Structure 1
């Protein structure tokens, strides 16, 4: 296994795992703050924008390569 293959595997498995963990943290933060439905949506939108930007970037890169 080359360094490039290991890096690619880490990007394909590590980043989605990190994103899922961050979504759990946002959910737990909203639950502990008793934010309610509107507050939870606001937290996911405000804190999830950066993660969504990364996901969109990956999709666009894949689309342009194929």
Structure 2
């Protein structure tokens, strides 16, 4: 069993470990959120580009048919 003089140091170590763990979790969540945001932006640009290409192709196909 730890002596009373070692309790404060042990408490501070656990407090630091807990704080570091929370900081790591926060950082990981921030990175994941950034990745998801970039992925959604890239998908949005891709969908927009495909939509524009389809809209540009429709008049060309109509001209070819007439």
TM-score strictly above 0.5: no
TM-score by length of 1: 0.42
- Greater relative contact order: 1 or 2 (C-alpha under 8 angstroms, separation 6 or more)? 1
Larger CA Rg, structure 1 vs 2: 2
